[in-house]
Amino acid sequence: MSKFRVGHGFDVHRFVKGRDLIVGGITIPHEQGLDGHSDADVLLHAVMDALLGAVGLPDIGQQFPPDDDTYKDADSGVLLSRVGEMVRASAFPVVENIDVVIMAERPKMLPYIEKMQYAIADILHLERSRVNVKATTTERLGFVGREEGMATSVVCLVSDGA
């Protein structure tokens, strides 16, 4: 009988001028990008934390420390690929599914969701059907509603594959 583990990830980044906006491994046209040590991909960061949590490993801040210049402007897709290797080497190597909610007022995410799903699936060597991405606004409430930044919440399910 298979054994399962659930992981949850959450990430937040503020908007800043002078950077590309990268969400879910996709560059999205926008007047601002997200601020962070790496490329600040708020979606992939939350996916990484969900996967790491599900298999009982330390979070991305410990795996890829923000004070380590090795990760300055790092491509979060490359980091997610490394996390995928960690998951496959764990006692729960099968990613059953990943479910994502992006919280942003602007830009609208709908035109990019399918590309994000394929990008995540490709990075993790999964069938696209195992990755679901949704987007919502916060009805103009809070820092997301004031368009100061974006947030992402992710839940994943992993199994031992038995």
Cα separations in angstroms, 6 against 61, 94, 112, 145, 152:
20, 12, 26, 29, 17
Measured CA to CA, the distance from residue 107 to residue 32 in angstroms comes to 10
Quote the domain boundaries for residue 143: 4-159
Question: Mean pLDDT over residues 103-121, rounded?
Answer: 97
- pLDDT class of 2 with cuts at 50, 70, 90: confident
Lowest pLDDT segment from 1-5, 127-131, 137-141, 153-157: 1-5
Dihedral sign computed on CA atoms, order 87, 92, 98, 102: negative
CATH label of the domain that carries residue 43? 3.30.1330.50
Closest to 83 (Cα-Cα) out of 114, 34, 35, 46: 46
> According to the model, what pLDDT value does residue 159 have?
97
Measured CA to CA, the distance from residue 82 to residue 20 in angstroms comes to 23
Interval 37-91: pLDDT, tens: 999 999 999 999 999 999 999 999 999 998 899 899 899 999 999 999 999 999 9
Place of tokens 């054994």: 3
For the chain, the domain total comes to 1
